[in-house]
A and B are shown apart, each in its own frame.
Chain A
């Protein structure tokens, strides 16, 4: 298949691995920010190919995983309001919250529809003019523009029953917080591919400038990741940290201006609550006042009666910060499995625990 097979070619892969092995001498700790990278790294066994001096850590880049329990509780409470249709990406369905999940709410009678795009959610709203249809906006800068576009489309069509609950999060601020915390020492960062398609590689310039850490934006195929690692190794060995693009077929330094404009038009920056990290200023997106009519937070009285309950013993928070791996968690593969998840990282398709479990064999 064109544009996929080329990036999975074992001959080219071998050349990149040889280059990495020959060049890499210093100990190097690399973090892949993005959950999509974590999954690809495990699916293709990339860690097995790297020399022992290169260590790879998984980062906070799974939007579902970093959503705070209390925000999930509110989404579920919203879905249980009478007469409401909730539209969501499938990933969110199984995520455990304090007391329930969207999957359980659906089994108990809530109308919850899995959609592949906001266009499907708009379509549900058009076909059911008497029902409020709420799209659950969870994601990073990658998904925010499409959700902004759906709100603009709803406004243009005069749709009165389409709403969004915005739990969007921004990636550079959380990266800065992780680096400032001093909890982890990194030599290089595999910067997120899809996010950087929107925000541009220059959004990461602060990392080499302020922290002297090597950066390269990667795609999601195995050769993309190996190429990215080879660029990081070169920067580390030559002590010349900068931001490089190992995903030039999608990412430009300035990003996607049109998408950024849409985001800016509909959303404004706000504080956001991150699982395991806390509430960070300037790290979320909320709907601007001009579009208040589409904001589910303002349109509905979302009440969660009981305080959020964090799952006891779950290390998701520490795993998202890169200070623990799933293998450090006592629940992993025993009390916590994809069928009976305790924390979100086990059940989100981009979750670190899920990647370890499915591809690494973390079975009890």
Chain B
């Protein structure tokens, strides 16, 4: 199989397409629903459902700590998890640029399989298209996911109330800096891997402490600062955070200093922000620390009635400043 590349004919719907889907996609991702290879996946689900979709265009498609396949599963799984849902079914659409080495596609599919298996989600539907060289950049992926929300769970960005505590699941900026370190013209070596990870098990552990979690959000593009601003605006509350408590990996901090970036705005793919009632904050934090993906969890601030829609931060010098949303692009195509 070495040196084999994706041809336009792989997307023609003919024999090559059929073989590609069967050997390189359906086989590694096999499950009872997918294996039928009918036009639509058929399954039953009852209860409150969460449904989401996202497209992934990250460049480069392989990066320290992951690849576009792992990202395409984790990103959608995390969007489901942030509504408290337990992820169930995933669709997978690939747009492949002609000429992509087949072994690269297979590596990506292998990552998809491992990430889906870890997150407990099944790939049950899919599609493959091949476009001419130059009309895509190697590989674009779209996934859509369905999850089941346990009874009694009501999580929304609009639910924060004054007095709530703000918890962050770990160090920020790893994904954005890992991608940036690989970019043409910037390439630098830092011992940083993307934090790309499925967070459904972490959320399940948190919900086991209390179903009364008010908000969950994963600070992806725009970073922690943008996510906190979104939550403050959606809930019509103010949020105060403490600069000293925000964990940033040493290497991320150093790279940000060099490039003039603020880690508060750098993307994450395996972190979450939780806004929880004060009475459960301690226990939730403890439960998070026992899960591998929440080991670095910390309380970073609280929700206040003052300055609705705004986020302020106590600086290292003890002064207070506004933390604004990201404006413009920090770095394109990080996810």
Contact = CB atoms under 8 A, between A and B. Distances in A.
A219 B18 CA distance: 64
Contacts of A123: 185
Please classify how large the interface on chain B is, using the bins under 10, 10 to 19, 20 to 34, 35 or more. Answer: 20 to 34
Contacts of A337: 327
Contacts of A46: 317, 319
Contacts of A44: 315-317, 319, 321
A115 interface: yes
A192 B254 CA distance: 23
A284 interface: no
Please classify how large the interface on chain A is, using the bins under 10, 10 to 19, 20 to 34, 35 or more. Answer: 20 to 34
Contacts of A357: 324
Contacts of B260: 349
Nearest to A4: B257
Interface in B156-200: 185-186
B328 interface: yes
A10 B254 CA distance: 20
Contact of B185 (A1, A43, A120, A361): A120
Contacts of B324: 357-359
B205 interface: no
Contacts of B328: 94, 338-339
A349 B319 CA distance: 21
Contact of B317 (A10, A120, A359): A10
B310 A361 contact: yes
Contact of B322 (A1, A13, A361): A361
A253 to B, nearest CB: 27
A363 B232 CA distance: 15
Contacts of A303: none
A360 B317 contact: no
Interface string A336-364: 01110000000001000000011111010
A364 to B, nearest CB: 12
Contact of A358 (B250, B253, B322): B322
B47 interface: no
Interface in A114-163: 115-116, 120, 123
Nearest to A116: B186
A243 to B, nearest CB: 26
B292 interface: no
Interface in A37-57: 42-46, 48-49
Contacts of A115: 185
Given A349-B260, A361-B322, A49 B254 contact: no
B318 interface: yes
Contacts of A94: 328
B257 A1 contact: yes
B316 A43 contact: no
A44 B243 CA distance: 10
Contacts of A25: none
A121 to B, nearest CB: 10
Nearest to B310: A361
A317 interface: no
Contacts of A363: 310
Contacts of A349: 260
A176 interface: no
Nearest to A124: B185
10 contacts: A1-B254, A1-B257, A43-B315, A116-B186, A337-B327, A339-B328, A349-B260, A359-B322, A360-B321, A361-B322
Given A14-B318, A46-B319, 5 more contacts: A1-B257, A8-B316, A115-B185, A337-B327, A357-B324
